[in-house]
Structure 1
């Protein structure tokens, strides 16, 4: 609403949409920044495939997880792109005030914008960000807990990891261990150095890019003989 109406106080400081934002040719001006941005985007995007890790716990597991993965991929792209565009258009890329070019806002642009956008209701943005953080935490714990569950069942890890919670029918011990490990890692990295945490995110993003590419190639190679049978197989 704020973006459509205009800047606070009736000022017209908003930045108009520019199709050049989607021009890939601009990447050649600063390839390093583009690579860093892509790695960060991969890290943020990471987690959409969580529904595949819980396929055995869903109804109709032969189709539900796959559809969930495809739908969530499109939904996430739509959300991320639209939010990025709206923030750029409202805050602009300037170096003053809530501008995205202001170094004071680079660590948390939403915190800088909350009072300007929602006024006394600015705390809602903080709540929304916290909810997003909790969701991101779940997408980290869910797949790893089920991975260690499988390893515990097959003897690659101690049998304790293969235990299933009696009431919830979910990996009990594995979830606790993975959750605790994630908390310890984040807290430790935050205390040691912010740069170390940032560098670790970049390193993890490289790993994500590698296994996404490897998984994509493996899927193509495994199903290569069925592509010509039906156009539906491409879906």
Structure 2
């Protein structure tokens, strides 16, 4: 049934069948209903952001880019992401779909816009998948005492652990939730413990090598006015990004209308507080020159400085837990996005199938896990292809900012009739999504201005491939939603 005006959240709850686009496939079996609760949903969203991993690799660049003025960047980026999370929460009330922004934008604006956002979603998740898979090997090798630069060691470790994570994701989302909870306990406990030790060393022990904070750390331009606020913002957006993973599990979550939205809001708030606390604490441990020398894993370097190499193994374990959790969250989220697009026949229909026994998108999950393993082999063993992948990785922060901003704009548009009904809807459905979209749009534009020709060519290639996929979906798969003016 075609509609010309998006329905209200209340109407969507009263008539959930109205949310389905024309021609969508009502496959049997379906995803397992009420498989995870709010706790698991929140943990999976936080796992997507990979706090331990991104602190390890982003702390030194963040200090250098901001000249220690990273606290305003974290606060502003967190506020922007919270505004976007509110938009996601409102849209999840409107429609619970494992495609998330792909489905929402398509219904609110039009199928072409929905496909475009869906394509950006797939690209960002694939790039994140590659980053995570490539990180598994070195992190594990460093933990067990082997050379983290070993090519074949990296390939073997990634292949074994990647297959393990993929199998967990295929077997069921409940098993995924339990694994994520176990990894989160190990990761967050260690990060917070070493943050406390850093503060103790600074304020109680007056440790000689500590960097003492000044009021300039609260300035957007940092110490000496040499910091780059926009560059730091882009780094923080990358650090917080992928907090929306629980949205793609909405069809499998208890209280599907409310819990996924609560989960993303809680996740963004907790991540913002954690990053402020951890980055501030860790930045005091050693001067910037030392941090830069250990920029590949600054978190382990901080642990070594505070406690010696023995206890630093605990931090290495936390980083490994973070990498594993983020990798699995990416696999699970991307598989559901592809499931939604497969159900709508804008991707091959095999991706729209759910496994009868496990009630998971097994075909999509296996493809994604295999892609991650293959990409790691190529990245490690073929330097020419690795350069092309590096160009894609350089654009991921820009792509995240784009799809979050576009989804927020679509949320404001979809719920526009309710914005004038009362102040609460005006704030949550209109003002906050627009504020988040403007902030992230500003960062995306500022980032794009600094792109080199190679990065623009990478984006152009992705756009051209997206157009080709759209044409295939419309004329080869004859996707019903692409023949309708609106879902």
Superposition TM-score, scaled by structure 2 size: 0.42
Long gaps (5+) in structure 2:
1-195, 429-487
Greater shift in the superposed pair: 208-217 or 21-30: 21-30
Is residue 297 of structure 2 the alignment partner of residue 111 of structure 1? no
Q: 1:227 to 1:156 in 2, by over 3 A?
A: closer
1:38-72 Cα deviation digits (max 9, x unpaired): 33332222210001111111011011111111111
Q: Which residue of the partner structure matches residue 223 of structure 1?
A: 415
Greater shift in the superposed pair: 120-129 or 219-228: 219-228
1:151 aligned counterpart, secondary structure: helix
- Equivalent residue for 1:78, pick from 254, 266, 273: 273
Is residue 396 of structure 2 the alignment partner of residue 207 of structure 1? no
1:110 aligned counterpart, secondary structure: helix
Q: 1:140 to 1:29 in 2, by over 3 A?
A: same
Is residue 317 of structure 2 the alignment partner of residue 124 of structure 1? no
Is the Cα–Cα contact under 8 Å of residues 199 and 281 in structure 2 kept in the other structure?
no
Q: Which residue of the partner structure matches residue 262 of structure 2?
A: 67
Q: 1:13 to 1:118 in 2, by over 3 A?
A: closer
Is residue 283 of structure 2 the alignment partner of residue 88 of structure 1? yes
Distance 1:225 1:90 in 2: 52
Q: Which residue of the partner structure matches residue 355 of structure 2?
A: 165
Q: Which residue of the partner structure matches residue 21 of structure 1?
A: 217
Q: Which residue of the partner structure matches residue 22 of structure 2?
A: none
Is the Cα–Cα contact under 8 Å of residues 148 and 162 in structure 1 kept in the other structure?
yes
Report deviation, 1:129: 0.2
Distance 1:19 1:114 in 2: 26
Report deviation, 1:25: 4.0
Greater shift in the superposed pair: 123-132 or 162-171: 162-171
Distance 2:300 2:387 in 1: 21
Is the Cα–Cα contact under 8 Å of residues 47 and 139 in structure 1 kept in the other structure?
no
Q: Aligned pair count?
A: 226
Is the Cα–Cα contact under 8 Å of residues 141 and 179 in structure 1 kept in the other structure?
yes
Coordinate RMSD, CA, aligned: 2.6
Is the Cα–Cα contact under 8 Å of residues 189 and 196 in structure 1 kept in the other structure?
no
Q: 1:5 to 1:40 in 2, by over 3 A?
A: closer
- Equivalent residue for 2:372, pick from 154, 175, 182: 182
Is the Cα–Cα contact under 8 Å of residues 36 and 202 in structure 1 kept in the other structure?
no
Q: 1:89 to 1:196 in 2, by over 3 A?
A: farther
1:126-173 Cα deviation digits (max 9, x unpaired): 110011111211232222111111222222222321221233322111
Long gaps (5+) in structure 1:
none
1:157 aligned counterpart, secondary structure: coil
Is the Cα–Cα contact under 8 Å of residues 212 and 284 in structure 2 kept in the other structure?
yes
Q: 1:43 to 1:190 in 2, by over 3 A?
A: farther
Distance 1:228 1:61 in 2: 27
Q: Which residue of the partner structure matches residue 333 of structure 2?
A: 143
Greater shift in the superposed pair: 142-151 or 53-62: 142-151
Distance 2:405 2:358 in 1: 34
State the 4+ residue runs in structure 1 displaced beyond 6 angstroms: none
Is the Cα–Cα contact under 8 Å of residues 164 and 172 in structure 1 kept in the other structure?
yes
Report deviation, 1:224: 3.0
Is the Cα–Cα contact under 8 Å of residues 197 and 306 in structure 2 kept in the other structure?
yes
1:107 aligned counterpart, secondary structure: helix
Is residue 269 of structure 2 the alignment partner of residue 42 of structure 1? no
1:211-235 Cα deviation digits (max 9, x unpaired): 1111111112222332343343334
